[in-house]
Amino acid sequence: MSDKFSRRDFLKLAGVGTVTTVLTGCIAQKEVKREPYMQMPEYNYNGQSTYYATTCRECAAGCGLVVRTMQGRAIKTEGNVNNPLNLGKTCARGQATLHGLYNPDRVRGPIKHARGESLYETPVDPDADDFKNADSNMSWEDALQVVADALKNNKPEEIAFLMGTASDHLFDLVTDLANATGINAPVRFSALNMFESRATLSQAAENLLGEAGLPFFDVGGAQVVFSFGANFLETWLSPVSYTRGFAGLRESKTKLRGTFVQFESRMSSTAGKADEWIPLRPGTEAMVALAIGRLVSELRGNPLPRAFSDIEPLDVAAKSGIKLETLEHLAEMFASSTGALAIPGGAALGQSNGLAVAEAVLALNAVSDNFGKPGGVFLSPIAPNQTEYQRPASAKEMQEFTQQMADGKFKVLFVHGVNPIFELPASLNFKDALKNVEQVISFATFPDEMAVEADYVFPDRHGLESWGYQRVATGAAQPVLSGLQPVVSGVYKPDSTELLYDARATADVLIAAAQLADGKFADALPFQDEVEFLHSKVSSLMTEADGFFSAADADTFIAYFQQNGGWWKLSDARGAPNVADVLNRNISGAESEFAGEGEFFFIPFVSPTLAEAGANKPWLQELPDPTTTVMWNTWAEINPETAHELGIENDDVVKITSEAGELEVPVYLYPAIRPDTIAIPFGQGHTAYGRYAQNRGVNPASLIGQRLNEAGDLAFAGMKVKIEKTERKQFLSRLESRIGVYNEGMEEH
């Protein structure tokens, strides 16, 4: 660790102080107390807070945070008002990041263990006894040697890195290591990206807009927004930024209140905000978009472009279940607006014809002629430190990766920032393929499923204890590099100067191990520590024009970088797409194909509050789902009419079977879902991951097969499933009254 700039050293505990919390209550058997740290960090005064800018690592969006700390503890996260991406705002997960920092189930230190062995002990009677984390059974020095040996003693092509989407600096470090030493380039994956169908969106952007990447949809400047499955108010791409856009759509001093229409078979919480929800039949998104395009062209009196010429609106109406009048009314709405915008995303793209859906919806924007205009579609600015958008792995690439594992191509696998055993559908058999990897080293902060299946767990520090940076892939008008710095030096044991969680930054581990491995590894990462590596990456921005700040020397620049929580440019760098002949393409309006035999379409969706990794944070568990108000569990959404026909009531457990698997889950009678569709949120169903997550709910990924769309994304929404009632009931905890929807239970149904 650096003695030069490391604020971790600034935070090294010095001075004594106390933090007491006022206690109340008439019964004083036990105390609620917070032990003061033995030694206080420098620059801390009793009773006064210190605020540090950093970046949220709960998802990959890269929102800036300002964290309130007091006497060495982080006590509240706020948005960084200067960061152009989130302008001082956070989502619920950003708020609950503290429940990760202080999570009692965090891995306590470097551990060697047998695969499959739990990383904590659950007491037989939790009322009488405490949980116990697995003790660290090796020193960090030994851990470094393990990593060094793994690098040195294997051929480069036998070494693989599987990484999450945050944070980018570590990805860059491993990429540099891979480029210099010939080990496999790191593969990045996140279930969020899988459910966003990022590869499909990026491919469609390349085909139609001339550049691969995530287009920037200017919701805030639009007058009419048609969203085909893009749940941009929940988890899609950059939810805080898109929520601000939505607010702009609704209220503005300069324009009328904008209209929002959502096309999807299940009303998501995004669709709940729409003026009109169009519950089209799954698989008909492409043809509906094309039919609207045709009707709009006709209304405008334009010659019918090739893209829409083959589509027959009357036929589409019959297939999609949307009345022709509705299609005409929507076309009228779209055609008469000067700022109409169409967004493709989410489950609409996760189908066998997902690429066609994305292209058909993007083509609507060509009709609206909004490319590169306010309220239209832009190319996202390329983030600083980057030459092009780096897309995380698609399902196809993960299949290939898993196959290589299964074939024994990898002798050693390093995993950081992703929990593939939970996040990937079980049908991929990632866990089985793992058996053919000789050595698995996990850098997990939390005892997730992947850490349990690893030989070694070398816990990384939590995001709030970490250095780094995150590139803002989309959501801001400027190129933004959000910076991370440790806001606390760690979490300490009571009455002790020892760390409760003896974690070490993975970048530091890799740098130190590379030095130990010597030779080309040492040459590839010639740094003293993570901070020096970070400086080497960031300092180059000093000479770039148009910066939010500038400095004459590197030290000053780095200091500003930390103080401000990153670096960004001042001017709008969104690009106008090159759109020569979008409408002269052939876009297929064929229905998508569905796998499996059941009578119900199956829509898995990401829980808006938990997302892929929130289940171990108890306050996220206790946030009611925005649409169903269910807390702490998984449910299946079924239309009340359908349920009535099947003799299913609220809280009845049903067995759902797909071609890939089956699961049992309690039912929530959801009034806003097609009668032929069922939906299950993704986020629960952990078999590890700490006391708040383990054995809670089910994971709908176990129903998803391995069929892909043209862009290589998983056709996760292209499944048909069977439902069978079981004899069991499981009562869901919900915020809304149990009288619930339609006063059910209050009267004879």
Subset of residues 77 to 106 that bind another protein, contact rule: CB under 8 A: 77-79, 86, 88-96, 98-99, 101-104, 106
- Shortest approach of another protein to residue 342 CB, angstroms? 20
CA distance 735 to 749: 22
Tell me which residues in 229-248 interact with another protein (CB under 8 A): 233-234, 239-240, 243-244, 246-247
- Shortest approach of another protein to residue 45 CB, angstroms? 13
Which residue, 257 or 306, has its beta carbon nearer to another protein? 257
Which residue, 238 or 365, has its beta carbon nearer to another protein? 238
C-alpha distances out from residue 492 to 68, 70, 561, Å: 18, 14, 28
Q: Binding residue for another protein (CB under 8 A) from 83, 337, 351, 639?
A: 639
Residue position matching structure tokens 């409408």? 583
124 binds another protein (CB under 8 A): no
Residue position matching structure tokens 């062995």? 117
Which residue, 19 or 551, has its beta carbon nearer to another protein? 19
DSSP 479-500: -EEEEE--SSS--B-TTSSSBS
Which residue, 462 or 569, has its beta carbon nearer to another protein? 462
Binding-residue total with another protein (CB under 8 A): 104
Q: How much is the CA Rg of the chain, to the nearest whole Å?
A: 26
Phi, psi at 291, each rounded to 5°? -65, -40
HSE, CB side, 13 Å, CA atoms: give it for residue 734.
23
- Name the 3-class secondary structure at 739: coil
Strand ranges (E), 295-454? 340-344, 377-379, 412-416, 439-442
Part of the chain binding another protein (CB under 8 A), chosen from 162-170, 414-422, 492-500, 592-600: 492-500
Tell me which residues in 699-738 interact with another protein (CB under 8 A): 731-736
Tell me which residues in 144-203 interact with another protein (CB under 8 A): none
650 binds another protein (CB under 8 A): no
Phi-psi region of 120 (alpha: psi -120 to 50; beta: other; left: phi over 0): beta
Which residue, 75 or 180, has its beta carbon nearer to another protein? 75
Q: Identify the CA nearest to 252 among candidates 244, 263, 240.
A: 244
624 binds another protein (CB under 8 A): yes
Which residue, 244 or 535, has its beta carbon nearer to another protein? 244
CA distance 477 to 573: 6
Tell me which residues in 336-365 interact with another protein (CB under 8 A): none
Tell me which residues in 462-491 interact with another protein (CB under 8 A): 491
Tell me which residues in 277-316 interact with another protein (CB under 8 A): 277, 279
Tell me which residues in 497-526 interact with another protein (CB under 8 A): 500
Q: Binding residue for another protein (CB under 8 A) from 319, 391, 691, 707?
A: 691
432 binds another protein (CB under 8 A): no
- Shortest approach of another protein to residue 493 CB, angstroms? 6
CA distance 245 to 338: 17
Which residue, 251 or 432, has its beta carbon nearer to another protein? 251
Binding string to another protein for residues 104 to 123, with x set by CB under 8 A, is what? Answer: x-x-----------------
Q: Binding residue for another protein (CB under 8 A) from 536, 741, 744, 745?
A: 741
Residue 328 tokens read as: 């005409």
- Shortest approach of another protein to residue 466 CB, angstroms? 17
Which residue, 98 or 665, has its beta carbon nearer to another protein? 98
CA distance 379 to 83: 20
Given CA atoms 704, 707, 712, 716 in this order, what sign does their dihedral have? negative
Say how far residue 588 (Cα) sits from the centre of its chain: 30
Instruction: Report the 10 Å Cβ neighbour count for 593.
Output: 12
Residue 633 tokens read as: 């569990």
Q: Identify the CA nearest to 280 among candidates 267, 293, 270, 294.
A: 267
- Shortest approach of another protein to residue 719 CB, angstroms? 22
Q: Are 65 and 53 in contact (CB under 8 A)?
A: yes
Which residue, 25 or 301, has its beta carbon nearer to another protein? 25
Which residue, 107 or 183, has its beta carbon nearer to another protein? 107
633 binds another protein (CB under 8 A): yes
CA distance 582 to 477: 24
